[in-house]
Amino acid sequence: MNSSIATKKASSYCVRVKGNSIIDTNIFAENVLVVDKSLEPTHGKIMIAVVDGNFTVKTLHLKGGQVKLIPANPEYPEIILNSEQELNIWSVVSYIIHKAK
């Protein structure tokens, strides 16, 4: 992977997007995301999470002691996590690659 987009090669990966839950952040189905597992998942970051075994790309919301995963498409609800759900933040999105037309 090119070092200009993957500063930590051992922890950086490319993944292809499926779905449209985050289109208002300019991330569309079939785009490629460069993600970095070494980056800190902080409030407001777009990240890949695994919720109850299902991968999703959302914006992380950490305020007031509550953890939410925020979509960027009004057709999708926020994921408000409860103590019975399993959340694993897999990586933070560092770049978005769009296919040339």
Residues marked as catalytic: 21, 58
* 42/27 Cα distance (integer angstroms): 19
64 φ/ψ angles, rounded to the nearest 5 degrees: 60, 30
b/e code 11-25 from CB counts within 10 Å (16+ = b)? ebeebebeeebbbeb
HSE-CB of 53 using CA atoms within 13 angstroms: 1
